[in-house]
Amino acid sequence: MINFKKVALAIAISTSIGSFSTQALAEADAGRIVYSPADAIDLVAGKVGTALEALKKGESADAVDDLIKNALSSSKEINASDKVFAARDKIHNKLKSARKHIKDGDNKSAEDDLAAAQKAFTALKDIL
CB atoms within 10 A of CB 87: 19
* Separation CA 86–CA 61 (nearest Å): 29
What sign has the CA pseudo-torsion 65, 70, 73, 75? negative
Which residue type is seen at 113? D
- Domains of the chain, CATH where assigned: 32-127 (1.20.120.660)
pLDDT in tens, 79-112: 878 888 889 999 999 999 999 999 998 999 999 9
DSSP string, 15-61: HHHHH--HHHH--PPTT-----HHHHHHHHHHHHHHHHHHHHHT--H
Quote the pLDDT of residue 30. Answer: 62
pLDDT in tens, 108-117: 999 999 999 9
Q: Select the more confidently predicted residue: 45 or 25.
A: 45
